[in-house]
Chains A and B, each alone.
Chain A
Amino acid sequence: MTEISDTFRIPIIKLHDKLIVSIQMALSDRLVMQLKDDITTRIERVNITGLIIDVSGIDVMDSYISRALRDMGLIARLMGVRTVISGLDPMIAMTLVEMGLDLKGVSAALNLETAIELLDRKPAKTRGKGAAA
């Protein structure tokens, strides 16, 4: 297992009108909290319409991590940004369902490519009541 220093942050990359976050490690609670803060700050600062959180490298998703991801999606939506979670491992997806967890309000895509397509296809800003799923 690689040691991750206390100051390490998950990088957030801006690509055109999107922010892309790729999680390629076991998430500690500290990293999750830091990421939530960083994403919020970045959305505020840069002009984007979509957020993609790629979780293909995540080791497990327990209730804390799921809740944090859902929260990030909700926060982003309140700031006018749509969120897509991409690359969820099928075995982790199965585990989530068995636990009774659910990422309500957040769209999902098979991989980064389809996540980008999904965001490009749909209107950048959802108006009126709630976002279309």
Chain B
Amino acid sequence: MSDTRQQILEILGGHMSAILARSVLSLSISWSKVDPNRLRPGDDNRLLAELEKGCRLYVRDDTLRQTCMEQMQTLLTINGHTLPPPEEPPRLTRVPVLGESDIVDARGIGRLVCNKLGFSGAMQIKVATAISELARNIVQYADKGEITITTLNGNRRGIEVVARDEGPGIADISLVMSDRYNSRTGMGIGLKGTRNLMDEFDLKSTPGKGTEIRVRKYMD
């Protein structure tokens, strides 16, 4: 890839001294927070705006300054957009849950996806905790299963987590969700707690076939 930084310096250098050119460029970079060699869409305009401020100080002649700006604009347009736009979180992430150690991975991945979506720290922790509960249920009662994390980009941005297994299923859902229930290992609060943390909670289970729990959390 061409060194855009160097090329901008050459253009600026045609209109001012090398030292001035270097300082105009480095100040423009630090103010616009744009790396000329790693341009993303929109970066070129922000960098050009800062460069123009600098050129106004040192290139007094309007026509010359315009030429200088046009040259840099052409350069940035040619060299720009070489990098993809900021990474979109993958719409769907599958995490196989095959053992105890996958619980930590699943909640870590969930948190990462929420972070990329722009969820607040508290929301990230809530989603991660819910995933941890769902993954642990899989390991404890069904041995193995899968968690899928899907980003929702519709009217309401958010995240959907589906935990699926082909385990023994839940015979009495209302019991598990009731206040009386106490499990062996947790506080009997795993599923109830998950429901409280999430905006939507949907549990489907067929004894002998398996369980599917679908939860959603929205950004607002």
Contact = CB atoms under 8 A, between A and B. Distances in A.
Interface in A18-41: 26-30
A126 interface: no
Contacts of A59: 104, 107-108, 111, 128
Interface in A62-93: 62-64, 66-67, 89, 91-92
Given A67-B185, A67-B186, A100-B189, A62 B132 contact: yes
B101 interface: yes
B23 to A, nearest CB: 41
Contact of B104 (A26, A61, A100, A101): A26
Contact of B129 (A28, A30, A61, A67): A61
Contacts of B84: none
B196 A98 contact: yes
B104 A28 contact: yes
Interface residues of A, number: 23
A69 B129 CA distance: 16
Nearest to B132: A62
Contacts of B185: 64, 67
B187 to A, nearest CB: 5
B38 interface: no
B116 interface: no
Contacts of A26: 104, 107-108
A29 B128 contact: no
A91 B189 CA distance: 19
Contact of A101 (B105, B121, B128, B189): B189
Interface string B105-130: 10110010000000001100110110
A96 B187 CA distance: 12
Chain B interface size band reads 20 to 34
Interface SS of chain B = helix
A63 B193 contact: yes
B133 interface: yes
A99 interface: yes
A84 B3 CA distance: 57
Contacts of A91: 121-122, 125
A26 B112 CA distance: 14
B144 interface: no
A132 interface: no
A92 B122 CA distance: 7
B46 interface: no
A30 B101 CA distance: 8
Contacts of A99: 129, 189, 192-194, 196-197
A66 B132 CA distance: 12
A97 B48 CA distance: 50
Contacts of B193: 62-63, 98-101
Interface string B164-203: 0000000000000000000001110110111011000000
Interface of B: 100-101, 103-105, 107-108, 111, 121-122, 125-126, 128-129, 132-133, 136, 185-187, 189-190, 192-194, 196-197
16 contacts: A26-B104, A26-B107, A28-B101, A59-B108, A60-B125, A62-B129, A62-B136, A62-B186, A64-B185, A89-B125, A94-B122, A95-B122, A95-B125, A99-B189, A99-B192, A100-B193
